[in-house]
Structure 1
Amino acid sequence: MSTAASPRVAELAAWAQELTGEPIRDIDRQPGGGRHGAWAVRGENGGMWFLRADSANPGPHEHYTLRRESEIYAAVASAGLPVPKILGVHPVHEAVLMEYVPGNARFAPLDPGAQAAVVADFAPLLARLHTANPAQMELPSLAPVMSITEHVGQELDIWGSRLKAVTAPNPFLRACFLWLQGNLPEVDGSPSLVQGDTGPGNFLHDGSRITALLDFELAHLGDPIEDLAWVGTRNAQDPVPDFDLFLAQYAKAGGVAFDGGRFRYHSLFAEVRIAILGAERAAAGGPSPMGDLGSGLIYGALHQRLTLEALCAAVGEPRPDLSALPARDTAQTEYFDGILQQMKDLIGPTIADPFAAQRLKSLARVVKHLREIDRIGSESLAEAELNDLEAVLGHRPPSSVEGRSELDALVGAGEMDAVDLIPLATADVSRAHQLAAGAMGSLATRHLPRPREIG
């Protein structure tokens, strides 16, 4: 068993053997899995399963647990949609064992024709999810069924409590959240089961058809337009060939009528959720030394920019232009470059384990990020941040933390709002983007979609 050195994983392997009745041959850590670890489990007699587990049990503010998600998977399966069967939920640990479903989660490597076929198969499935009556589904964790507006308000309450628990100053994020609270759409009609974080990367396919919908961690009752916004958010990571065509296919399959205002609202709410999760990780001490460090850097920079873009779209402001600080090679640049070259040409080709190969790529992203910090200079970055805070506050704060704390208080008192902070957010995004752009590849030029229906 490849990961038997971990007592927790070994315990979960023994539990999997109990559930399946088959001796476990190996249990291998897999790339991806989102906030949860993922393992492929193989039995001595050829059985295969998929294990998702956390390294610790949920904290006091965690609402979206694997146990809750397992309930939703079962309800979605009962509605006739393709999802993996849940074989068991661990009685103590936050862990679930699922059936293995053939398919590939990677969408970007497909040629455009195959991507179009997969999206054309996905759109009707999403429409079927949204037209299923949640009152007739076994969803005790999500009950009672209320109005769409009430369920969106419920989500705001959940994420508001999480943001409140983050004590570090984050004035733009708090201002965006207050904007969401003050602009909650009034929507008639019954709610849908919303997957949350849906779209490419969160389904399996065989190259032309969907074999399984994945990841119902953030699922809840609410506005089905939210899922269209999530596809838009994921579109910056895994673009569909034609977003407007996807919307047309969804509508043709019986999906709800598109609403531009709600789409913009939920695009911002999706990004705010991602930002709150990032703020929680930072408050907990930052990334784990054994975590996916590079992905955290590049996706953090991407979604920081997308949050700003979503707010601008929601309030009718143009997409902001980013700036760059002066940068030059230093005496250390050739060493950073040498490390990257050796990682690519010497170390990478020797690694057969997919998980280790993915982590090597992740570490290369960190090296690129550190190279840019060195090229710009830590003092220049700190000076630029203080200059930007001074421009908003009208005076120079003693430190960036004190300046952001002062802005936090002004936002909380209603003396500044999200629109007032767009210039500061643009400057923050510009610095983060400049540091990460070399590691981001095509992500550096990706944006949220602006469907024709909303201009």
Structure 2
Amino acid sequence: MSGERPEVTAEVRQWITDVTGADDLTLTQVSGGASRQAWFVDAHTGAGSRELFLRYDPREPDPHSVFHPLQVEAEIMAELHRHGVTVPKVIAAHPVRQAVLLERAGGETWFRLIEDPDEQVRTARDFIAKLAALHRIDAADLTIPSLGTAGPVAGHVRDEIAAMRRRVAAYPKPAPLLTFCIDWLERNIPDYDGPAVMVQGDTGPGNFMYADGIVTAVVDWELAHFGDPMDDIAWLSLRTVQDTFTDFPARLAEYAQLSGHPIDEGRVWYYRLFAETRLASMSPGSIDTRASVPPRSPDAGNSLIYGMLHRRLLVEALAHVVGIPEVHVDLPDDGTASQYSHVYDATAAALSASVDRSSDALAQRYVKGAARLVKYLAEVDRAGAIVDAEEIAEIAALLGATPASVQQGRAALADAAGRGAVSEADYVAAVWRGIKRDDYLTRTASGALARRTWPALTHPTDEGGRDRWVSPSVTTTGN
């Protein structure tokens, strides 16, 4: 990872000056999306200052990327703004570089920072109202040349599945589980003949701005596409896993009433798998790797735990759509000790002390991530051989031959399922048991994330007919 400080090039600065007519510019980088830079731009003129926002990516667009180039994102936002959707107004898009200048929206981003429960509910309800308004627009009425003309939903789903296949094909190594998911999605496209809508993708808390209980702007349209409204509900439930979004079933009931689109649980589960598969296709090797961490990354600890979360969510969605309600796994007793436990504990203590003595927020993040890696390695040292032996034995029983490793066994099992030598149900159940073992080894590193899963879509009802709700942040996966 480069230690160079991000800068906006002189060419892009001059473009901003030309667009705004400013005499002088002040640019301040702020935290933004994971893939692009974000800058506050103050354009100073003799009449005062204009507050703007720059989305910027110095890289050339990747034709295989799941993300739109910024010019396409600007095209989407401009058309949605014209239709009254609450998005920032597009001032200009650079004709060549990936740079888009927007009006700056006021407010905060992270939903979890709202301390007042009533304000949380007001904000969530306002977002749901705005999502419903977006989905009331027939996509056929939108003019977005880069996306083409909206047609039947199934056609757009097939197009995205084909794009997933191209990304996997470009990957130099096999991706057996991901390929299985893509094949399943293609065979089971929902029979939905309603109008296509604009699906934001990755919609929900973290991707809208808010102030005083009102959503001031829905942001981040780099995954937007035409499709099924339940696709966005699946994305919203995915965002909710990471940033609990009040009473989720209640919000969905409000959405259904306001949008005119009833919640179809089967389609939501299909698009949960679809969303996780689409994300995994960005890095095909990560889904088949127990500990997926980018090499030489100082943020590898966070990559480990979020990678595990998304792998588990993908397999839980796959198990649900295939019709497997639960699998059982015998896991080692937590009292099982390693002779090196005291060394891991000492390393974790040293890292914790280092965090306390640092005032650099980024350094703190990296050190905390290193502590997560140590916790994970401690569990692998303590119990990894036990869970590996059990999984290899299970795979051998299905294959009729003993694989040399868990990784080879999982790949061979996927191949056998693809040939019909192992049933779909047996394969998915084996994968789910494997993921539960991986999750067990990662649980101390993951902390609260280890207890999160897909939120319920409806309220459970007790004998008296009263609704109850359990926060997804405290739902356990069980063993």
TM-score scaled to structure 1, two decimals?
0.87
Pick the aligned partner of 1:421 from 420, 427, 431. Answer: 427
Residue type of the alignment partner of 2:436: S
Q: Shift of residue 406 of structure 1?
A: 3.0
Distance (Å, rounded) in 2 between the aligned partners of 1:32 and 1:390 = 47
Structural mapping, 1:158-169, within 5 Å: 158-169=163-174
Going from structure 1 to structure 2, the CA distance change for 1:420 and 1:58 (only over 3 Å counts) comes to farther
Residues 40-68 of structure 1: CA distance to partner in whole angstroms, max 9, x if unpaired? 34455654433333352233312532222
Structure 1, residues 310-365: CA drift from partner, whole Å, max 9, x if none? 11221222244566455545342244223332233111xx23xxxxx156324412
Per-residue Cα deviation, 1:90-149 (whole angstroms, up to 9, x for no partner): 333333232211111111122322221111111121111111122222211222221122
What amino acid sits opposite 1:19 in the alignment?
A: V
| Residues 1:370 and 2:371 aligned together | no
How many residue pairs get matched? 444
For 2:305, the equivalent position in structure 1 comes to: 298
- 2:151 is aligned, of 131, 146, 149, to 146
1:387 positional shift: 4.7
Q: How far apart in 2 are the matches of 1:38 and 1:359?
A: 20
AA aligned opposite 2:153: I
Report the counterpart of residue 451 of structure 2 in structure 1. Answer: 445
Task: Give the Cα–Cα distance (whole angstroms) in 2 for the partners of residues 338 and 25 of structure 1.
Answer: 42
- Equivalent residue for 2:192? 187
- What's the % identity of the aligned pairs? 33
Out of 166-175 and 257-266, give the one that drifted further: 166-175
Runs of 4+ in 1 over 6 A off after TM superposition: 280-283
Residue in 2 that maps onto 1:406 = 412
Q: Alignment partner of 2:283: what SS?
A: helix
RMSD: 3.0
Residue 61 of structure 1 is aligned with which of 61, 64, 87? 64
Counterpart contact for 1:336–1:368, Cα < 8 Å: no
1:58-207 residue pairs with structure 2 within 5 A? Answer: 58-62=61-65, 64-65=67-68, 66-110=70-114, 111-207=116-212
1:10-37 CA-to-partner distances (Å, cap 9, x unmatched) read 6544443443333233332x33403223
| Structure showing greater relative contact order (alpha-carbon pairs closer than 8 Å, 6 or more residues apart) | 1
3-state SS, counterpart of residue 377 of structure 1: helix
- Equivalent position to 1:52, from 28, 46, 55: 55
* Aligned mates of 2:351, 2:381 — CA distance in 1: 20
- Give 3-state SS (helix, strand or coil) of 1:241's partner: coil
Query: Measured at CA, do residues 259 and 370 of structure 1 come closer, stay the same or move farther in structure 2, by a change above 3 Å?
Result: same
Q: Which moved more, 1:120-129 or 1:326-335?
A: 326-335
Tell me by how many angstroms 1:291 deviates.
Answer: 6.8
Report which stretch shifted further, 165-174 or 149-158. Answer: 165-174
Secondary structure of 1:419's partner?
Answer: helix
Shift of 1:425: 2.2
Question: Does the Cα contact within 8 Å between 2:128 and 2:251 map onto a contact in 1?
Answer: yes
Q: Within 1, Cα distance between the matches of 2:327 and 2:192? A: 30
Structure 2 unaligned segments of length 5 or more: list them.
462-479
Preserved contact between residue 31 and residue 358 of structure 1 (Cα < 8 Å):
no
User: What amino acid is the match of 2:348?
Assistant: D
Structure-2 change in CA distance of 1:367 and 1:278 (3 Å): farther
Greater mean alpha carbon deviation, residues 210-219 or residues 170-179? 170-179
Q: Is the 8 A contact 1:4 1:10 kept in 2?
A: no
Query: What secondary structure is seen at the aligned counterpart in 1 of 2:349?
Result: helix
State the Cα deviation string for residues 420-452 of structure 1 (Å, max 9, x = none): 323432344234323433343322211112323
| Alignment match, 1:430 | 436
Contact (CA 8 Å) 1:293, 1:363: kept in 2 or not? no
SS at match of 2:28: strand
Q: Which residue of 2 aligns with 1:344?
A: 355
- Provide the rounded CA distance (Å) in 2 between the counterparts of 1:281 and 1:308: 13
| Structure 2 CA distance for partners of 1:414 and 1:57, relative to 1, 3 Å | farther
Alignment match, 2:16 = 16
Closer/same/farther in 2, CA of residues 251 and 369 from structure 1, 3 Å limit: same
Superposed CA deviations along residues 204-245 of structure 1, whole A, max 9, x for unmatched, are: 111411010011111111111111111111111112221111
Contact persistence 1:124–1:250 (CA under 8 A): yes
Distance 1:358 1:6 in 2: 15
8 Å Cα contact 2:199/2:228 also seen in 1: yes
Q: Report the more deviating stretch, 241-250 or 402-411.
A: 402-411
User: Which letter maps to 1:436?
Assistant: T
Counterpart of 1:368, as a letter, is R
Higher deviation after alignment, 18-27 or 256-265:
18-27
Is 1:220 aligned to residue 222 of structure 2? no
Select the structure of larger CA radius of gyration.
Answer: 2
Aligned position for 1:354: none
Within the candidate set 291, 294, 299, 1:287 is matched to 294
**Which residue pairs with 1:34 in the alignment?**
34
Which amino acid in structure 2 is aligned with residue 342 of structure 1? A
* Separation (CA, whole Å) in 2 of partners of 1:103 and 1:280: 38
Amino acid at match of 2:39: W
Q: Aligned in 2, Cα 1:116/1:46: closer, same or farther, shift over 3 Å?
A: same
Mapped to 2, the partners of 1:301 and 1:216 lie a distance apart of 25
Separation in structure 1 between the aligned mates of residue 67 and residue 99 of structure 2, nearest angstrom:
13
Distance, in Å, in 2 between the alignment partners of 1:310 and 1:401 is 21
Equivalents in 1 of 2:420, 2:97: separation in Å? 43
**1:388–1:427: 8 Å Cα contact kept in structure 2?**
no
**Does structure 2 retain, via aligned residues, the 8 Å contact 1:124–1:253?**
yes
Extract unaligned runs of 5+ from structure 1: 352-356
Partner of 1:313: 320
- State the Cα distance separating 1:158 from its structure 2 match: 1.7
CA contact (8 A) 1:179 1:418 kept: no
Q: After the TM superposition, which of the residue ranges 371-380 and 246-255 deviates more from structure 2?
A: 371-380
